[in-house]
Amino acid sequence: MEKKLKKFLITIGVALLLIGLGIVAWQLQQTLSIKFTYIGEESDGFIAVSDEKNVGYINTELEQVIDLKYPVLDSMKMDKEVDLSAFKVKDGLFPYTNSSNKFGLVNQNGKIIMKAKYDYINVISKDFIIVNDNGAYYFINSKGDLVCELSFQDVATIDNISNMFLVYNDDKVGLIDTNSNLLLECNYDNISILKGENNNIITATNGNTNEIYLYDKNSISFLDEFNDLYAMYYINNDIYLTNFEGKYHIYNIETKSLKTLNNNYVAIEPYYNGIALAVNEDDLVGYIDENENVIIDYQYSFDTSTSFNQYNLAVVGKNDLVGVINTKMQEIIPFNYLEIEIVNDDRFIVLDKNNKMYIIDGSENKITTKDYDYIIDTEYSDIFLVSNTSNDNTLYGIIDSNGKEIVPVEYEEIKISNNYFILKQDNKYSIEKR
């Protein structure tokens, strides 16, 4: 009897264990791949998701954090898509909408932090929130207090700059930062920003006059003023300026000195390791040193040649084909291709004469097992986006740095993040762990 009971208990235990493992496996499957009609960008570890009617949030572990319960507004519907750009999470603040077409803020548990009363909301931080109320833009904090007494007719983001915004009044533009400092009043025709490693160069233009400012450590300082000179590049404390008539100048922000290059160039790119790409009046590319001595003769095509990079390699073009050279003018990749992109010192994306793309190494050995219509280098060094087009239908997939296809080429759209892939197929989005 005792042996039978033990055997029965063991059988029950195994069965429960198997059921438990099945539940865990089912839960894991549900967690690792979920589908929505629309998916936003990840922000602070959370992602806005939507069906065609409501919006909610998931986290980067693909767990539902807030159910799909906030209505999709008419203003969010664009070309049969839903724009979820307003639903970016920051400092624990989640934008939400109500049936009155207004935006507010909730926390992760869905508790209302700020009632929905705004036409637009963009949370930069808990201390700096952009809102639109009846056509006017204001800057407030999470308590609803104004952090800047001024209002503006429009506010615009700046590419690759997250701590400053363009502000507009009466067709003039100014600049504000996320510390609520009005850096430049709305007195200018145009404002442009060159991003440096540790600071930024701001050009504020009125007519032909360009005022140059340095923005560093949350403060702005005037550097200089130029007429008919435009800032083109900013690297290693040097601002490259041109008047588009062949004269280039280099302004050093530390010494506040302006060096005028002796020769006329159609174009010149910033020096890297003492070498700059220069284009002569015949539209041919050569390379010069810091004293403007020609170290590699003018002989390459302007349209297909690049500056030398951190690997001391450059793509250069001749007779409608491109190759790769080093700073000693040694040919690393011969002129056999229509296009080349340098991935690193031993990986190159090439487009061959048959208009097929693949990856080769420095010895021209083929890395990819398949050819593609297009290969896109991503910000992640270990993966590439690939695509093929047939009958005007383009499908995407992902390969790794060894050419292995880790996501098949069968998706209408792919977005890549640190932890997951967003895949679109049959007009539905799914999120899968990397």
Residue 32 C-beta-side C-alpha neighbours within 13 Å: 8
What's the whole-number mean pLDDT along residues 326-332?
94
- Can you give the pLDDT at residue 9? 38
Cα angle 279, 354, 338; round to 5: 10
Domains with residue ranges and CATH for the chain: 36-151 (2.40.128)
The tens digit of pLDDT for each residue in 338-395 reads 999 999 999 999 999 999 999 999 999 999 989 999 999 999 888 999 999 999 999 9
- Can you give the pLDDT at residue 418? 80
**Radius of gyration (C-alpha) of the chain in whole angstroms:** 28
Token output for 164: 């400053």
Q: Is 55 in contact with 87 (CB distance < 8 Å)?
A: yes
Rounded-to-integer distance, Cα 231 and Cα 378, Å:
28
- Can you give the pLDDT at residue 10? 38
The tens digit of pLDDT for each residue in 71-88 reads 999 888 887 788 899 999
- Can you give the pLDDT at residue 331? 96
Task: Tell which residue, 433, 428, 422, has the closest CA to residue 41.
Answer: 422
Burial 200-224 (b: 16+ CB within 10 A, else e): bbbbbbeeeebbbbbbeeeebeeeb
The tens digit of pLDDT for each residue in 383-408 reads 999 999 999 999 999 999 889 999 99
Helix (H) and strand (E) counts in the chain: 1, 42
Q: Could you say which DSSP state residue 90 is in?
A: B
Task: Indicate whether 416 pLDDT > 60.
Answer: yes
Name the region of 44 (left: φ>0; alpha: ψ -120 to 50; beta: rest): left
- Can you give the pLDDT at residue 33? 55
Task: Indicate whether 118 pLDDT > 60.
Answer: yes
Is the pTM of the predicted complex or chain greater than 0.95? Answer: no
Task: Indicate whether 29 pLDDT > 70.
Answer: no
What's the whole-number mean pLDDT along residues 153-173?
94
- Can you give the pLDDT at residue 20? 41
- Can you give the pLDDT at residue 146? 92
What's the whole-number mean pLDDT along residues 224-243?
92
Rounded-to-integer distance, Cα 284 and Cα 278, Å:
8
- Can you give the pLDDT at residue 34? 65
Percent of the chain surpassing pLDDT 70: 92
Q: How far apart are the first and last CA of the chain?
A: 52
The tens digit of pLDDT for each residue in 247-282 reads 899 999 999 999 999 888 999 999 999 999 999 999
Q: Is 268 in contact with 240 (CB distance < 8 Å)?
A: yes
Residue 382 Cα distances to 204, 272, 312, 343, angstroms: 40, 26, 21, 10
